[in-house]
Amino acid sequence: MELLGAAGLKPSDLDAVAVALGPGGFSAVRVGIATAHGLVAPTSKKLIGVPTHLLQAYKHRDEIQKQVVSLIPVGRKQLSYSVFASPISASSESVANGIWDEIDIAARFNAGAHVLCGEGSEDEPVSKNIAVRPPEYLLDIALERLELGLVSDGFLEPIYSRPPTITAPRAT
């Protein structure tokens, strides 16, 4: 609400709210989705969910020859991947996804047929100064989805690479 207030806006001034659905940090994705729901709930505005893999692959939307593979580290020396057929658009859905060991990625996806991208790609090293998922991609995808009518008709759910592991509380 502080951000809206600083811009001189109220939630009712928004046409829609877009949010990354994951995969990503468990808490970060859930907080983002909850915040988006909180912004639209009192106003009945449109809610647009965008998979994080699509956000990363969107950089290569002009690629027409190769499939684009978005990679996100998920711990345990593993990467979550989603493969997108070219050309990529805001309505693109992955044609394959899953988790592979980091060491197996190069053998699974070759440079002749695939473009590797994202946080888990050696071609796009993570830097403090470069956004792997620039916010303007979320805006571009959301605006196109809004125009196409691809909005949520209810509650958005996070996308997990693997089911969350929940352990019992420790005995005190």
CB 49 within 8 A of CB 156: yes
Q: Residue 13 and residue 35: Cα distance in Å, rounded? A: 16
Q: Which long-range contacts (CB under 8 A, 24 or more apart) does 31-38 make?
A: 33/156, 33/157, 33/158, 36/156, 37/155, 37/156
Identify whether the C-beta of residue 140 lies closer than 8 Å to the C-beta of residue 2: no
Longest dimension (CA), the chain: 58
Contacts of 76 (CB under 8 A, 6+ apart): none
CA distance 17 to 39: 7
pTM equals 0.88
| Residues 54, 20: Cα–Cα separation, whole Å | 9
With beta carbons less than 8 A apart as the criterion, state whether 33 and 26 touch: no
List the chain pLDDT tens, one digit each, 172 residues. 788 889 999 888 999 999 999 999 889 999 999 999 999 988 889 999 999 999 999 999 999 899 999 999 998 899 999 999 999 999 999 999 999 999 999 889 988 899 999 988 876 655 555 677 899 999 999 999 999 999 998 889 999 988 767 777 777 7
